[in-house]
Structure 1
């Protein structure tokens, strides 16, 4: 009878397992949540075997795990993640064969990974053999949930009671959580216990319920103790839990701070952090910046003893170790000579910086008073706060024109007769600041007429000063020709080939000139007789046989120039005497 019941039960369990498998084989069957036992750590459909002895009991844990295939969690299932929730619990009904008594056959799960232990008691009357425990039904959970209950099935292999139990229970802890480093966990941890005694029943236990630790701790110890006929034993586990990464920050720990976020010397960037739970903390080693840059980004991180890593916020370093260029220059003012300026001067300071521009320089400076040498200084400062002094600039300013000092020459407003004009004057420059340079006179002339002389003086700054003198050169007074020649437009009738004495005087003011050198030229030339139409004709009555050489007759007090007429009767001539000052007298002649 018992064997028949056993076979019927096995057939029912097989049908139920088949139904569970078919339920799991939907469009996402491979990723259905797994209803499994904790007899071993693998959620599979193979029937685990729990050996028990008639007259004893055995505790088996049940849990729901996220759907997996080959150890891979379902990323795209009907319901991604755990399908058991507090507001949507999953109810699992166990199918327990005759001959086995279960503490409960209805389990309610509000989360995945939480183990619920069920105590199975095997009466002394139970016939030794295999008794399969499976899941009769699974219900509830989130909408559209799929569950695979096949891994929850196991076999109670009932053996004959041992005559005596001399061994205490075996306790095996199961810890579920994300393992970090150095024995730490970095996510909530669930600790469950497997308490087994194959020789006698567990008569009492404490601390063996599943516990979830969610509060960070440097070490929480859990202990499970159990007693059977073979004695009492206990097992402890210590859980270190840190779910939070350490703090991490980058900071400049070496380097001269400039302005506007710049540094002006080599920079050391250090990464530091702390962790109040799983210290000590290991951080990125110090980093350095030695080359100039408009912005170098540094990154770093810290890792606590649990293996959790936190990235520090990036830190940007701007480094300029070199001051800007700086130079002084005259930007307004008339440049003279020899480094002098001759008008008001503006001195500007300018500079540049290829790294931390813009550059701020000393404001414009001016020099308006005359000086033999005013020193100007200026500087430029870049955005990093580095300053550079420009080379000094010396300004020499002379705005005053030089004076003129005349030496010799015609007096201002003077009047002189030709030939009696003073020699050309000289001049010199006077200057009390930059000093005199040179002076020159232009406009001097001894010719007849009014003249203006200009003395031009220069100082060493290039300034030019001038002074002028006006004077007059008067012409000589010519008198003649005297008799026998008639003047005033008369036409003198002369025998052709005869020699006519031309007599005249030359005066410079009241001074009679007697040197024949004062006569520049004595010229005669034939002209048309018609030029003298209507002229009064006057016969020359006196001739001379003297030489035709200009001479001064001291007896008569006059110049005499004998002119031998051409031998061309009927022709007309004009005779012109011109003196050195440009004055001239002339007479008209007709040959007969």
Structure 2
């Protein structure tokens, strides 16, 4: 205590006593109290991330604190989870107290956060959502929370791997905070990751050139060109132009575009129709000459692909017409030019045909080597003029095969002599002359031979082996014929049926009198001395004398 006193009494041996009091005695045996505390509190996790100042407080209830021993503030500058600060203080009685403040947890080092994502395409782009994983590490106070932000937006708490699907180019910054409140530098280059997501396919369009005509056809090769665009990752590949040079309908070209994120898009340029071949037109114009008043020519055009659009023609150099039916009239050689165009605008090379019309028959001229024959004229046998020849001419198509004469004859009868000629168009011309060849007049047999009359048969009975004079006359009109050449020699003798007079067989006739046949100028008649067969009594014969014109007389004989 303070201000204590002590009274002391001394007694000698004489029992004398004396006392004295000593006062103002202060005794302090209790050490002072000493405590320290951080001047700033730890965070909610009990951690500091900087120096910690410990402020000391001391008290002593008796002697009081020796001011010279009062400790100054302690500063903890290290790093650790069990740091402390110690201090001592003395009271005025010399009692000493030492105190320690701890544990103090100081973490000065921010955590380290790394990010991991799947590898992108070589272009650095992704074609779809990306899973982002953040790994934070703090070796002292441990990680409190990890953040990330997208394109410097509001921080978001990372709670585990997350999928990022926002298309385009985006920066994801990430950082962590440890339990001591140390904040990782999010501005560091290694704390930002750029994610490029292109989940939109590129666009591709194709165009065919040259454009088709109004019928949808081309008549030249067609080149298909593709145009590709990608507003995010950009185009990695776009098809080269493709040229179609093969004929055909409904052709197409497929093109595929690919962006740097691997997205693809395809398009087909179809409906391409190519026809490189012109149509073919034929005509049924007659190949040669014709004698028709009008000729209808039909044109037929074919095209195996685009089809025939129109057929054109010109006649005799006139204006161009359309259609497939042409009527040609008028004599002469007509020139027809024609061609067709198909639906692909292929133009056929002009073709030509001739339409040759000749309606005029050829001209005929009879040529007589001597006398001529007039229409309706008559001649006796042997007096007919020699046969004519003929010439024909035709100013257009020309004579086909020359001129022929038919119907000429010199035998007895009526004749129609026709000279005929045809031209190459089929026109036929003819000249007709009608004439008659009259027979000679044959009279006889005269006596001694009797002639049958009507249906009555008269048999001249003669002795076998005897000679019978056959007498007769021949006249050409009123002119008597005296030349034996006009008689067909020898006369004919045929066995005859004695009952009915039908000719049965012919025998050889012999003549007597020096000549077979003679003309008796005195009697003015022909005489043929027929020697009858020496055998064959009872047989009958039909004896006939004929002239060169075919006239004849006959008589029946019976041998006895």
Give the TM-score taking structure 2 as reference length.
Answer: 0.62
- Structure 1 residue corresponding to 2:378, chosen from 396, 404, 415: 415
Taking the aligned partners of 2:306 and 2:146, their CA distance within structure 1 comes to: 78
Shift of 1:512: 1.8
Shift of 1:382: 4.7
Matches within 5 A, 1:371-382: 372-382=332-342
Contact 1:291/1:319 (<8 A) preserved: no
Pair 1:182–1:559, CA change in 2 (3 A): closer
SS state at 1:387 partner: coil
- Alignment match, 1:398: 358
Contact 1:226/1:234 (<8 A) preserved: no
Contact 1:250/1:315 (<8 A) preserved: yes
Taking the aligned partners of 2:429 and 2:383, their CA distance within structure 1 comes to: 30
Matches within 5 A, 1:75-90: none
Deviation per CA, 1:354-390, whole angstroms, max 9, x where unpaired? xx35455635344542554333333344554433225
- Structure 2 residue corresponding to 1:447, chosen from 411, 423, 426: 411
Q: Which runs of 5+ in 1 are unaligned?
A: 1-51, 59-125, 129-158, 533-543
Name which one, 1 or 2, has greater alpha-carbon Rg: 2
Taking the aligned partners of 1:276 and 1:500, their CA distance within structure 2 comes to: 143
SS state at 1:248 partner: strand
- Structure 2 residue corresponding to 1:504, chosen from 461, 472, 486: 472
- Alignment match, 1:481: 445
Contact 1:275/1:281 (<8 A) preserved: no
Matches within 5 A, 1:152-231: 161-162=104-105, 165-167=107-109, 169-170=110-111, 172=113, 174=115, 182-187=123-128, 207-210=154-157, 216-219=167-170, 222=173
- Structure 2 residue corresponding to 1:243, chosen from 166, 180, 199: 199
Contact 1:177/1:185 (<8 A) preserved: no
Taking the aligned partners of 1:496 and 1:246, their CA distance within structure 2 comes to: 138
SS state at 2:229 partner: coil
* Count of equivalent residues: 422
Pair 1:210–1:398, CA change in 2 (3 A): farther
Instruction: Say if 2:46 is the partner of 1:55.
Output: yes
Pair 1:200–1:550, CA change in 2 (3 A): closer
Instruction: Say if 2:285 is the partner of 1:322.
Output: no
Higher normalized helix content (fraction of residues)? 1
Taking the aligned partners of 1:426 and 1:316, their CA distance within structure 2 comes to: 78
Pair 1:55–1:531, CA change in 2 (3 A): closer
Higher normalized strand content (fraction of residues)? 2
Taking the aligned partners of 1:475 and 1:420, their CA distance within structure 2 comes to: 11
Contact 1:177/1:188 (<8 A) preserved: no
Shift of 1:423: 1.4
RMSD: 4.4
- Alignment match, 2:267: 313
Deviation per CA, 1:177-230, whole angstroms, max 9, x where unpaired? 995664445546687877776667999999542488765444456576869676
Contact 2:210/2:222 (<8 A) preserved: yes
Pair 1:172–1:577, CA change in 2 (3 A): same
Taking the aligned partners of 1:250 and 1:419, their CA distance within structure 2 comes to: 101
Shift of 1:519: 0.9
Taking the aligned partners of 2:217 and 2:409, their CA distance within structure 1 comes to: 76
Deviation per CA, 1:497-534, whole angstroms, max 9, x where unpaired? 554443322111122222111111323345455558xx
Shift of 1:420: 1.3
- Alignment match, 1:278: 233
SS state at 1:394 partner: strand
Taking the aligned partners of 2:494 and 2:545, their CA distance within structure 1 comes to: 12
Instruction: Say if 2:186 is the partner of 1:234.
Output: yes
Shift of 1:297: 4.1
Taking the aligned partners of 1:303 and 1:545, their CA distance within structure 2 comes to: 134
Shift of 1:434: 0.4
- Structure 2 residue corresponding to 1:340, chosen from 289, 305, 321: 289
Taking the aligned partners of 1:497 and 1:193, their CA distance within structure 2 comes to: 165
Taking the aligned partners of 2:44 and 2:202, their CA distance within structure 1 comes to: 52
SS state at 2:526 partner: strand
- Structure 1 residue corresponding to 2:387, chosen from 408, 424, 427: 424
Taking the aligned partners of 1:201 and 1:500, their CA distance within structure 2 comes to: 179
Taking the aligned partners of 2:215 and 2:357, their CA distance within structure 1 comes to: 41
Instruction: Say if 2:387 is the partner of 1:433.
Output: no
Matches within 5 A, 1:261-272: 261-272=216-227
Contact 1:374/1:395 (<8 A) preserved: yes
- Alignment match, 2:493: 524
Pair 1:471–1:316, CA change in 2 (3 A): same
Deviation per CA, 1:400-446, whole angstroms, max 9, x where unpaired? 54354333454322222111112112223342310123111122211
Taking the aligned partners of 1:327 and 1:352, their CA distance within structure 2 comes to: 9
- Alignment match, 1:300: 255
Q: Which runs of 5+ in 2 are unaligned?
A: 1-42, 50-80, 84-101, 148-153, 312-322, 502-510
Judge which range, 387-396 or 577-586, deviates more: 387-396
Taking the aligned partners of 1:470 and 1:323, their CA distance within structure 2 comes to: 65
Shift of 1:324: 4.0
Contact 1:351/1:361 (<8 A) preserved: no
Give the TM-score taking structure 1 as reference length.
Answer: 0.59
Contact 1:413/1:469 (<8 A) preserved: yes
Instruction: Say if 2:538 is the partner of 1:575.
Output: no
Matches within 5 A, 1:117-128: none
SS state at 2:186 partner: strand
Taking the aligned partners of 2:231 and 2:498, their CA distance within structure 1 comes to: 142
- Structure 2 residue corresponding to 1:457, chosen from 409, 415, 421: 421
SS state at 2:203 partner: coil
